[in-house]
Amino acid sequence: MELITGKHMSRRTALKGLGATVALPFLDAMLPAGRLWASSTAALPTDTTRFIGIEMVHGAAGCNEWGATQNLWAPAKVGSNFDLTPSSMSPLEPWRKYLTIVSNTDIEGAEARTAKEIGGDHFRSSAAFLTQAHPKQTEGSDVYVGTSLDQMYAQRFGQDTPIPSMQLCIENVDQAGGCAYGYACVYTDSISWKSPTEPLPMIRDPRVAFDQLFGAGGSANDRASRRQTNRSILDWIVGEVDGLKRELGATDRRRLDQYLDNIREIERRIQMVEAQNLSGEVRDIPEAPAGVPDDFEEHVKLMFDLQVLAFQSDLTRVFSFKMGRDGSGRVYPGSGIDSAFHPASHHGGREDRVTEYAQINKYHVSMIPYLLEKLDSIQEGDGSLLDKTMLVYGSPMGDSNLHNHKRCPLFIAGGANGQLPGNMHIKAADGTPMANVMLSLMHKLGMDDVASFGDSTEDFSFSAVTDD
């Protein structure tokens, strides 16, 4: 539906107020005048695939020798008739039509290559995940690894959005200098590398991410003043909203109301977290900023909600999200396991402890359906945001007890604009680099001219395979 006035609205229309700039979701009024979604054959601004790269450290229980026999990560069957019930990926069962599992791939770049590097797996792994490259061992500023997939995509397809890419995380990553085994902390602090020598900082505080998305309409003092009033950013643009609505059709008005309601709700949740954390009560994570929830699940969901809003408003099309930190001693009560994460990952190969670690892996994966549901709920023309998103979830480690990087966990979710088969488990041949998969994903994202990536040896085939 077009504007009531018959005018064509720019995709970059934004509503501005004190310390706030609110970009709009894609509206029918932004289509070329007189054209509807169904009759539009030319490429639309929403057709570019959104990309999310999610790293969860420490591998998976199913990558252990015994865990693999129990199918604690990879299903027993390849093809489409696979059973997720024993797997830590079982929470994804309702979304299997959007799920492509690739098992049995290795990340050689995370392996030790010299005697000096032995033992440093936790401190180089994250840097290798989206780069598929081997980090230079150094504690100085002369870091070197590779340009990450998300940044290669952002450099190619993110330059016409206000924010080319965003980098988010859950745990503390603001360390400096050397960490251990001769590695600079930036290797484990970031999964996103703008160039082989430029790691990008990751945002842990939802308030900071929110302000980056919606608080750019003024100075830092303007934004601080607005927050002190305890009012929503939407209160400062109410006049512009009312004026815009008078020019929109009914469908666009409903779409705009839903979008603004989501912004207000997320802002309210952030304000509640800040109020609780500034109340003087003892915190579970005393070192965390006031905007960071102590509860892991609430923190992850806030970050997911911000990603969905950013995609919906086309503020950015690229996210990297680091959901854990190597060596973390965090306990996840929601998993039903009392053991801290890092100690649990060193299960000694004991069957009972491997099974417990699988529960933690399952808990982490159980966060993903929330994001998939949110993306699926937002329609853009002939599809949902989920249809237009490629989500890559994995770990640069395999068997965490051995610190190896063989048979690493990996799955891809989302429709990726029809580029992925969905409802498919593909088991790679032994020794296949994960870089081959990443290279093929880059081609599916439109970077057809990229000939190699990391230690890739060839394109990886996502063609349908025959069920066992």
Question: Of 51, 53, 52, whose CA–CA distance to 129 is shortest?
Answer: 53
Mean per-residue pLDDT, 409-431 = 96
pLDDT of residue 1: 36
- Give the global pTM: 0.93
**31-45, 128-142, 246-260, 349-363: lowest mean pLDDT where?**
31-45
Of all residues in the chain, the percent with pLDDT exceeding 90 is 74
Q: What is the distance in angstroms between the CA of the first residue and the CA of the last residue of the chain?
A: 48
What mean pLDDT, rounded, does the chain reach? 90
- Yes or no: say if 171 and 202 are a contact pair by the CB < 8 Å rule: no
pLDDT of residue 179: 80
Task: Tell me the β-bridge partners of 225.
Answer: none
Match 């199913």 to its residue by tokens: 62
- Report the side by side order of strands in the sheet with 99-106: 166-169, 318-322, 50-55, 389-394, 410-413, 99-106, 424-433
Give me the sign of the Cα torsion angle 303, 90, 329, 274: positive
Question: What CATH number is given for 51-204+299-310+318-468 in this structure?
Answer: 3.40.720
Give per-residue pLDDT as tens, 366-402. 999 999 999 999 988 789 999 999 999 999 999 999 9
Residue 144 — pLDDT band, cuts 50, 70, 90? very high
Residue 351 — pLDDT band, cuts 50, 70, 90? very high
pLDDT of residue 5: 46
Mean per-residue pLDDT, 92-109 = 98
pLDDT of residue 38: 46
pLDDT higher than 60, residue 112? yes
Residue 35 — pLDDT band, cuts 50, 70, 90? low
pLDDT of residue 17: 72
Angle, vertex CA 457, rays to CA 455 and CA 459, nearest 5 = 115
> Phi and psi for 339 in degrees, rounded to 5?
-70, 145
Please tell me the distance from the alpha carbon of residue 105 to that of residue 427, in angstroms, as a whole number: 8
Residue 353 — pLDDT band, cuts 50, 70, 90? very high
Give per-residue pLDDT as tens, 185-197. 999 999 999 999 9
Give per-residue pLDDT as tens, 163-173. 999 999 999 87
- Yes or no: say if 368 and 92 are a contact pair by the CB < 8 Å rule: yes
> Greater confidence, 428 or 15?
428
pLDDT of residue 32: 67
Mean per-residue pLDDT, 444-450 = 96
pLDDT higher than 70, residue 2? no
pLDDT higher than 70, residue 220? no
Give per-residue pLDDT as tens, 222-263. 556 655 655 678 877 877 888 888 888 888 889 888 988 999
pLDDT higher than 70, residue 348? yes
Give me the sign of the Cα torsion angle 47, 30, 161, 414: negative
pLDDT higher than 70, residue 42? no
Mean per-residue pLDDT, 200-206 = 96
- Yes or no: say if 112 and 118 are a contact pair by the CB < 8 Å rule: yes
pLDDT of residue 385: 96
Q: Cα 82 to chain center, whole Å? A: 25
Give per-residue pLDDT as tens, 422-436. 999 999 999 999 999
- Yes or no: say if 173 and 325 are a contact pair by the CB < 8 Å rule: yes
pLDDT of residue 272: 94
Describe the crossing of helices 250-277 and 296-312 by its angle, rounded to 10 degrees. 150
Mean per-residue pLDDT, 330-339 = 96
Question: Of 213, 195, 376, whose CA–CA distance to 306 is shortest?
Answer: 213
Mean per-residue pLDDT, 317-340 = 95
Mean per-residue pLDDT, 81-87 = 97
Mean per-residue pLDDT, 348-364 = 97
pLDDT of residue 217: 47
pLDDT of residue 4: 44
C-beta atoms surrounding 28 within 10 Å: 18
Please tell me the distance from the alpha carbon of residue 408 to that of residue 396, in angstroms, as a whole number: 6
Residue ranges of the chain assigned to CATH 3.40.720: 51-204+299-310+318-468
Question: Of 409, 401, 460, whose CA–CA distance to 122 is shortest?
Answer: 401
Residue 433 CA: distances (Å) to CA of 105, 263, 445:
5, 41, 19
> Greater confidence, 4 or 164?
164
